[in-house]
Amino acid sequence: MTTINAFVENTYPDFDIDEVKVFNNVSKLTDFIIKDRDIFSKSCLKNYKFSVISFDIVLCNNEDIHRINKEYRNKDSATDVISFAIFADSLPEERFIIDDEINLGEIIISLDKTEEQSKNNNVTFDSELYYLISHGILHLLGFDHQTQEEYDFMVEKQNIAKAVVL
């Protein structure tokens, strides 16, 4: 059994969100995602022995994610989710596991964008939030969406995963 250490922090004081609920649902999502054989077999985890997976989720506003997007991705706009995949983006010889724990990285989500997109997509806020979190987790596991096939794979897996907590 894998222990999931997902650290959830809301840095947006004007947006009230239940961090404990998000943590519990993120743990369920992550467990579901890494147990999916199709995902695991293509992920950065496939050749490693571990008992703990950790990563951070920072919930913020459009202003903060805009700044991060501009600084790290040279994109001068707010976005919904940014992932920093520490483990997946490292060369295999540079990856490290300490005490059977893999730190996957960090996911940053704009709660403003989440709310806006939930209205535009005619879904609940929670549905959009867990869709974005699933997207971020897949990026932390090494997935990308540069081709239509990759995009379709990610969207399918995100929709299945978010249903686990809704």
Mean pLDDT of 37-57: 97
pLDDT grade for 1, boundaries at 50, 70 and 90? confident
Would you say the pTM of this structure is higher than 0.95? yes
CA nearest to 100, candidates 56, 136, 138, 54: 54
* CATH match for 3-163 among 3.50.50.60, 3.40.50.11890, 3.40.390.30, 3.30.450.40: 3.40.390.30
What integer pLDDT is reported at residue 126 of this predicted model? 97
71-90: per-residue pLDDT in tens? 999 999 999 999 999 999 99
What integer pLDDT is reported at residue 5 of this predicted model? 96
Element (H, E) at 32: helix 19-35
110-146: per-residue pLDDT in tens? 999 999 999 999 999 999 999 999 999 999 999 999 9
CA nearest to 127, candidates 158, 148, 101, 149: 158
What integer pLDDT is reported at residue 128 of this predicted model? 98
